[in-house]
Structure 1
Amino acid sequence: MSLKTRGSAAVDKAQRRLALLKSINGNLDLGHGLSIEAYTRLIDNTRATLEAYNTLLSNLDESRKTITEMEETLSELSERMLTGVATVYGRNSMEYSKAGGSTRKRSTSQKSISQVPSVVAVLTTQPTQTTTNGKGSLSNV
């Protein structure tokens, strides 16, 4: 997600106001610090600060992308290092555990299987047999 740079409605409005004030008098000075010169200076300083802010945002966004790429590369190398230790020493070794790998003990015994009763209940009634009576229909015997 890139950071949004910004403009300034206040700077835009002040720039237009400055042009209007200059139409009255290019050296207008209303006293108490209200002069074309002071107004122009503040507009320019605000614009410069806004440009510096937007430049910082751009640099920050670039730095964030660089850090993200570096973290991905570092994570991949970390995984490869652990896999290398597993290849050389084995996944059940002390060295693998020291490198941060988790050893899973493999169970040598089988899980017990639920016992099925060996005696199967026998049906007490026998199903009725059906035969054909020669006419193509079924009947009970």
Structure 2
Amino acid sequence: MARRKRSSSMLQKAVLRAAGISSIDPNLDLGNGLNLLAYSALIETMRTKENAYNSALSNLDKLYREMLQTEKELGDMTEHMLMGVGSRYGKSSVEYGMAGGVPKNQRQRRLRGESPTANSPQPPIVSFNGNGNGKKPAAAN
């Protein structure tokens, strides 16, 4: 998802204000550095900085997409490297373990429904009527 580009409402307001002031007098000077020339220069500086910022965001988005693609390629190659070591030395070899795999003869088989961290015992499930809801069956007439 692309980052949201910035658009300055202050810049838009300043451009409209400059156009209005220019229609009064293109060489208007209000003293203390308040003149149309300085105002227009500051507007252009802001426009340039906003464009640079938005371009930087676009470049950042591009770099991010490229990084994600490279990360995917790295993950694929990492998997292929481990499969290659398993193919050459066997999945029960020491070399396979050294490459980061779990040797086949050291894997622990889990029972169905058992969590990967089954070191702690699970509490027993109590069922009175065999349907798993824990309620006693109603007396039959």
Letter in 2 for 1:99: A
Q: Tell me how large the CA RMSD over aligned residues is.
A: 1.2
Aligned pairs, number: 107
Letter in 2 for 1:6: R
Q: 1:90 — aligned with what?
A: 90
SS in 2 for 1:14: helix
Q: 1:68 — aligned with what?
A: 68
Supply the distance in 1 between the matched residues of 2:42 and 2:103 (Cα, whole angstroms): 66
Q: CA deviation at 1:45?
A: 0.3
Change (3 A) 1:20 1:106: closer
Q: CA deviation at 1:24?
A: 1.4
Q: 1:129 — aligned with what?
A: none
Supply the distance in 2 between the matched residues of 1:61 and 1:32 (Cα, whole angstroms): 43
Q: CA deviation at 1:2?
A: 1.1
Question: Percentage identity across aligned positions?
Answer: 42
Q: CA deviation at 1:84?
A: 0.6
Letter in 2 for 1:81: M
Q: CA deviation at 1:106?
A: 5.8
Letter in 1 for 2:44: D
Q: Runs (4+) of structure 1 moved beyond 3 Å?
A: none
Residues 1-141 of structure 1 aligned to structure 2 (within 5 Å): 1-104=1-104, 105=106
SS in 2 for 1:19: helix
The TM-score, its normalising length taken from structure 2, stands at 0.73
Supply the distance in 2 between the matched residues of 1:5 and 1:106 (Cα, whole angstroms): 51
Letter in 2 for 1:65: R
The TM-score, its normalising length taken from structure 1, stands at 0.73
| Structure 2 residue runs without a partner (length 5+) | 109-141
Q: CA deviation at 1:103?
A: 2.1
Q: 1:121 — aligned with what?
A: none
